[in-house]
Amino acid sequence: MLYQLYEAQRALLSPFAEAALAAGQLYSHPLSPFAHGPLAPRVAAGLDLMHRLAKAYEKPPFAIDQVEVNGVQVAVQERVAIEKPFCRLVRFKRFTDDAEQLERMKDQPTVLVVAPLSGHHATLLRDTVKQLLKEHKVYITDWIDARMVPLDVGPFHLDDYVTYVREFIDHIGPHAHVISVCQPTVPVLAAVSLQASAGGVVPRSMTMMGGPIDARRSPTAVNNLAMNKSYSWFENNVIYRVPSHFPGAGRAVYPGFLQHTGFVAMNPGRHLSSHYDYFLDLVRGDEESAESHRVFYDEYNAVLDLPAEYYLDTIKTVFQDFALVNGTWVVRGEPVRPQDIRNCGLLTVEGELDDISGAGQTRAAHDLCTGITKDHQHHYDVKGAGHYGIFSGRRWREHAYPVVRDFIRAHDRRQRSVPVKKQRRMA
């Protein structure tokens, strides 16, 4: 019933949001007589803020049309490499008429970015993708909002997530490097482990950023909630059915609006301050700062529903049973054995101020991957960075990215000297 009430509220607020937008134009458009009053900037700013607080936020586009590669602007086109019911594997194909530049790009490493399925869309990693495109060929997992997937498609479990990642790695081939951000660090490590155990394609390197490999270390508020509430509590209190006007009507989901509420509740003061600063920027006419706020919250407020089976599996497997670190995780009858991974680099990245994945949680991957020699393992702490700072913004671009780039480059060169057939035998 909660989901239906939420949708009714959205429908009720929608005309008020549009009315606030239209009224705001009366007090901000230079040709309007109302725009020249002494209080016009404040009234316009207040109406604009009201519009943004009441409006519905849909999934934004990646909007990466071009990128600079070695000082040359090259065109970028999104292509769907694989389409699954709950995910699309998207490739960012780069084009240029410069023959020399084209040859350089062909020789650059291929990266699979596994985006989180934890409430936000894959476009949250736009800055990650844009930076990687300067020196890599890039694929990303673009997860589908569960409310848009018809019920007759069937359920989606954590095991299905792992299977999807394995299929994507097989599609790209042994020249792939995998980057997982936040939630997918666990299923990605499972997928690569299963690939290694089965003698399948193993990526040249794994980069794991801010994820709960071992959520027992430095538990955060997010971890404590997942660990201290019972499985049945989550099943009875946060799972709802998709309303009838969506393609996935009747599907059991963990609604995106509940996840968004949780995100905001973690730092309410910070969000309140941010919106007040936005109001002041509008009053002062600081359009650059105001636009920066809009860009962030257009992404932050756009959320998706998670399949209930996947969400509950994650709670139990990752945060209650700690099945990966305890060695008890079995996916479709196959045990997950990270110790079987060899000939693959492992880089872990954590943010010093991360309040979602605590210190040491991602670093725990090194203790599990005992088959990877120490000279091919590396850990990096991003000083002054929170959770989002390790993959987006200035600290990502200036501190984390150079480390990730150099690690990928080193392991790409190392593996290129080994024939593909031998890589398979070694795996």
Domains of the chain, earliest start first: 2-56+256-300 (no CATH), 66-234+306-418 (3.40.50.1820)
The pTM of the full predicted model, rounded to 2 decimals, is 0.91
Where do the DSSP E strands lie in 193-307?
205-209, 240-241, 252-254, 306-307
* Dist CA 338 CA 324 (whole Å): 9
Enter the DSSP assignment of 33: G
68-86: b (≥16 Cβ within 10 Å) or e: ebeeeebebebeeebebeb
The confidence score (pLDDT) of residue 420 equals: 47
The confidence score (pLDDT) of residue 70 equals: 86
Could you tell me the mean pLDDT of each successive run of 10 residues in the chain, 427 residues long?
89 92 90 89 95 92 92 93 97 91 91 95 96 96 97 97 98 96 97 97 97 94 90 95 94 94 86 94 93 92 96 97 97 97 96 93 97 96 94 95 97 64 50
β-pair partners for 88: 83, 142
Q: Which of 255, 299, 307, 254 is nearest to 144 (CA)?
A: 307
Residues 348/365, Cβ–Cβ less than 8 Å? yes
Where do the DSSP E strands lie in 287-376?
306-307, 330-331, 334-335, 345-351
The confidence score (pLDDT) of residue 415 equals: 60
